């Protein structure tokens, strides 16, 4: 279905309703907006006879056999592995991949969405931190780690189960007093569920726990203060840590070593992601491993699957625990 | 200059000369072939009036503002960083990047070259291990780390200088008896010069040295035998190692630790690449750092530069030494 020039676009709807483009995007993708805005947008949609085309129709237009991937960078091992696995999954289906490293900047992302709307690419897989992304409802888009509305499938590891697994593992390994440490984007996204899963696991096991949550831009040194606040008479009163990423685990382990705390003898640390040294050697730390290959395959499957009338809004894929030297068992 | 259908191709030349396509490719790109083959190919080129189009002409055809990158994978940190830097350099020039992870297989590479010949992409940057690659002389192509003939610019770190720097560094740090260790592809490529540079540095400093060279597919355990052959009465008679990559350095350090040899107190180790933990934290080992950003910018510059009548066949970019805990100074 090629778009005709007379067909109204989301921009037309925004102009007609007198609201921002982002508001229209939210309404058509089923995200929450103020009720009065919703009514204005819906009225404008009706007046203009704006068609919320189905995903499948979008994809059926002239094929380019090209899919764009939006990802912050390829240096972070989790992203590097995703890029690699998505590339292989696409090549297997004879699709090419346009790569766009967003560097956590929003500029380029919208441009690729426009390309998809103009059928210059067949679809987009995106791991994006842009809260202002405007996605026309007929744009084939699969999101990783962050829900962009019920019309756009989101694929993630089972972050809740991963958090719970970390708590249970620490309990199994004899911890009595643990902490959850987090730094990162304050956007609502799937990885945020690691915290709730961890709490749930602690409660199920009667494991005493505390939390320290920093936002992007906060100084990591606040974790150092947190650790010394929990040190009494030269002894740390925490014996287990679940860190929201392997990167944070790496940084916390360094702080613990600086303080003379032996890892894993005195404090055990579990990270999240499953980063390996040099991409394929040992795990950097004990960790909850994200199933990157399965995430990649699922993204490609959902993006290219035309036959599917109803697509799942959120797919959570199972994680696993891997020993990496910072917990007690071998 | 759009190719006309009546224009003879390299395939026609091969048929006319009765030789393999790869032989024609070698002749037009100035690589060595048997003299009788060269004569047959040159005669066929003359008979068919085959045009060896210039690179610039190839690029001037209808623009797609898309460049393909061929690279083994994005998991190895050096590749991951190259992909990231090339992506940024292209985006800065408003170019998109098609990524093709070759996984060291040759299949996909030739397909992208065909795309470039058909002007579906404007050019190719490739880090390829395929010895049978056939590149039409009008294909805009920049190679990383491996010369594909004088017509195709090759960009690399200054591998010779890097090898020499490693030897001099080990000498400066008090080593007396060092070894060069290498495992990898037996293809002639730029990284092979690390060995010659190292030898040169050892000779300049009167540093006693030995070498152990393995081919792809050989067992790493041969290095373990090498190390135990150099152990007499429980003492290793080598006190410095230059490993051809950080990955090999990592593996050798593990073997040394298994043998009870303390690094860096008893044996110092320098790798090559500049791999950092989690892509941007500490160096994994003391290392010769490849200038990935400069390599990326140079590749993009050479690929997109039309005005350049004569392009450099080989560009070597300066490396630097970085301390990473496996040598003596801090």
* DSSP 8-state class, residue A122: S
Of the partner residues A91, A100, A279, the one whose CB lies closest to the CB of residue B75: A279
Of the partner residues A91, A247, A279, the one whose CB lies closest to the CB of residue B76: A279
> What is the chain B residue with the closest CA to A277?
B277
Alpha-carbon distance B138 to B145, whole Å?
Answer: 21
Q: How far is A88 from chain B (nearest CA, A)?
A: 7
- Rounded to whole angstroms, the maximal C-alpha distance in chain B is 75
State whether B84 and A101 contact (CB < 8 Å): yes
pLDDT in tens, B195-230: 999 999 999 999 999 999 999 889 999 999 999 999
Band of pLDDT at residue A4, cut at 50, 70 and 90:
very low
What's the pTM?
0.79
Q: With an 8 Å Cβ cutoff, is A106 touching chain B?
A: no
Alpha-carbon distance A53 to A27, whole Å?
Answer: 14
Q: Is the pLDDT of residue B241 over 90?
A: yes
Q: Which of A96, A254, A257, A326 has the most B C-beta neighbours within 10 Å, making it the best mutation to test the interface with B?
A: A96
pLDDT in tens, A204-246: 999 999 999 999 889 999 999 999 999 999 999 999 999 999 9
Alpha-carbon distance B272 to B293, whole Å?
Answer: 16
pLDDT in tens, B72-126: 999 999 999 999 999 999 998 989 999 999 887 767 788 888 877 777 888 999 9
State whether A250 and B281 contact (CB < 8 Å): yes
Give the ranges where chain A is alpha helix by DSSP (H).
Answer: 10-17, 21-28, 35-48, 55-60, 77-92, 107-117, 159-172, 193-204, 221-229, 246-258, 292-304
Tell me: ipTM over 0.90: no
Quote the pLDDT of residue B33.
86
Q: b/e map of B177-216 (b: 16 or more CB within 10 Å)?
A: ebbbbbbbeeeebbbbbbbebbbbbbeebebebeebebee
* Averaged confidence pLDDT in chain B: 89
Q: Residue B275, preceding bond cis, omega within 30 degrees?
A: no
Band of pLDDT at residue B56, cut at 50, 70 and 90:
very low
pLDDT in tens, A294-305: 999 999 999 988
Which residues 69-98 of chain A have a CB within 8 Å of chain B? 69, 73-77, 80-81, 83-84, 87-88, 91, 96-98
Band of pLDDT at residue A57, cut at 50, 70 and 90:
very low
Q: The tokens of A103 are what?
A: 């560097």
| A18: three-class secondary structure by DSSP | coil
Quote the pLDDT of residue A265.
97
Quote the pLDDT of residue A101.
92
Alpha-carbon distance B157 to B81, whole Å?
Answer: 14
Q: Residue A19, preceding bond cis, omega within 30 degrees?
A: no
Alpha-carbon distance B199 to B94, whole Å?
Answer: 44
Q: pLDDT: is B260 or A55 the higher one?
A: B260
Quote the pLDDT of residue A138.
75
Q: How far is A81 from chain B (nearest CA, A)?
A: 6
Quote the pLDDT of residue A54.
40
Band of pLDDT at residue B58, cut at 50, 70 and 90:
very low
Q: The tokens of A171 are what?
A: 């309990």
State whether A279 and B108 contact (CB < 8 Å): no
Q: How far is A100 from chain B (nearest CA, A)?
A: 7
State whether A88 and B66 contact (CB < 8 Å): no
* DSSP 8-state class, residue A325: S
Band of pLDDT at residue B292, cut at 50, 70 and 90:
very high
Quote the pLDDT of residue B199.
95
State whether A73 and B84 contact (CB < 8 Å): yes
Residue keyed to tokens 């990231």: B84
Q: Is the pLDDT of residue B306 over 80?
A: no
Q: pLDDT: is A129 or A51 the higher one?
A: A129
Q: With an 8 Å Cβ cutoff, is B99 touching chain A?
A: yes
Band of pLDDT at residue A53, cut at 50, 70 and 90:
low
Q: The tokens of A287 are what?
A: 């960790």
State whether B99 and A97 contact (CB < 8 Å): yes
Q: Report the candidate in B83, B95, B128 with the shortest Cα–Cα distance to residue B109.
A: B128
SS (H, E, C) chain B: CCCCCCCCCHHHHHHHHCCCHHHHHHHHCCCCCCHHHHHHHHHHHHHHCCCCCCHHHHHHCCCCCEEEEEECCCCCHHHHHHHHHHHHHHHHCCCEEEEEECCCCCHHHHHHHHHHHCCCCCEEEECCCCCCCCCCCCCCEEEECCCCCCCCCEEEECHHHHHHHHHHHHHHCCCCEEEEEEEECCCCCHHHHHHHHHHHHHHHCCCEEEEEEEECCCCCHHHHHHHHHCEECCEECCCEEEECCHHHHHHHHHHHHHCCCCCCCCCEEEEEECCEHHHCCCECCCEEECCHHHHHHHHHHHHHCCCCCCCCCEEEECCEEECCCCCCCC
Q: Report the candidate in B227, B283, B281 with the shortest Cα–Cα distance to residue B257.
A: B227
| Integer Rg of chain B from CA | 22
A75 chain-B contacts, CB cut-off 8 A: 77, 80-81, 84, 279-280
| A271: three-class secondary structure by DSSP | strand
A249 chain-B contacts, CB cut-off 8 A: none
* Averaged confidence pLDDT in chain A: 89
Q: Report the candidate in B253, B254, B259 with the shortest Cα–Cα distance to residue B241.
A: B253
pLDDT in tens, A272-316: 999 999 999 999 999 999 999 999 999 999 998 876 667 788 899
């Amino acid at each position: 279905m090629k778009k005709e020039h007379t067909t109204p676009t989301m921009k037309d709807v925004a102009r007609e309703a007198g609201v921002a483009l982002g508001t229209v995007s939210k309404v058509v993708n089923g995200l929450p907006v103020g009720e009065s805005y919703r009514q204005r947008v819906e009225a404008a949609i009706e007046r203009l006879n704006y068609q919320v085309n189905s995903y499948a129709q979008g994809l059926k237009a002239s094929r380019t056999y090209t899919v764009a991937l939006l990802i912050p960078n390829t240096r972070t091992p989790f992203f590097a592995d995703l890029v690699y696995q998505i590339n292989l999954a696409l090549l297997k289906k004879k699709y090419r991949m346009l790569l766009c490293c967003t560097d956590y900047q929003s500029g380029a992302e919208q441009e690729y969405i426009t390309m998809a709307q103009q059928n210059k690419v067949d679809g987009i897989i995106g791991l994006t931190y842009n809260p202002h992304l405007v996605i026309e409802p007929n744009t084939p888009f699969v999101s990783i780690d962050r829900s962009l509305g019920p019309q756009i499938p989101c694929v993630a590891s089972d972050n809740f189960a991963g958090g719970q697994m970390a708590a249970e593992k620490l309990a199994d390994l004899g911890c009595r007093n643990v902490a959850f440490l987090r730094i990162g984007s304050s956007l609502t996204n799937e990885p945020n569920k690691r915290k709730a899963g961890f709490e749930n696991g602690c409660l199920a096991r009667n494991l005493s726990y505390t939390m320290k949550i920093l936002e992007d831009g906060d100084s990591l040194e606040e974790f150092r203060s947190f650790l010394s606040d929990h040190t009494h008479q030269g002894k740390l009163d925490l014996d287990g840590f679940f860190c929201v990423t392997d990167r944070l685990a790496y940084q916390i382990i360094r702080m613990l070593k600086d303080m003379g705390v032996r890892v894993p003898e005195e404090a055990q640390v579990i990270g999240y992601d499953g980063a390996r040294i040099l991409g394929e050697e040992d795990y950097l730390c004990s960790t909850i491993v994200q199933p990157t290959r399965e995430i990649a395959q699922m993204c490609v499957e959902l993006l290219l699957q035309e036959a599917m009338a109803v697509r799942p809004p959120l797919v959570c894929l199972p994680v696993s625990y891997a020993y990496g030297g910072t917990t007690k068992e071998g």
